[in-house]
Amino acid sequence: MERAAAERAAVERAAAERAAVERAAVERAAVERAAAERAAVEWATAERAAVEWAAVER
Provide the residue ranges of all domains of the chain, joining segments of one domain with +.
1-57
**Which amino acid belongs to residue 41?**
V
Instruction: Classify burial at 14, counting beta carbons within 10 Å of its beta carbon; exposed 0-12, middle 13-18, buried 19 or more.
Output: exposed
End-to-end CA distance of the chain: 85
pTM: 0.67
Separation in Å, CA 54 to CA 9, 30, 42: 67, 36, 18
* The predicted structure's pLDDT at residue 1: 86
* The predicted structure's pLDDT at residue 19: 99
Which tens digits make up the pLDDT trace of 4-38?
999 999 999 999 999 999 999 999 999 999 999 99
**Which amino acid belongs to residue 54?**
A
**Which amino acid belongs to residue 21?**
V
Q: What average pLDDT score do residues 32-58 get?
A: 96
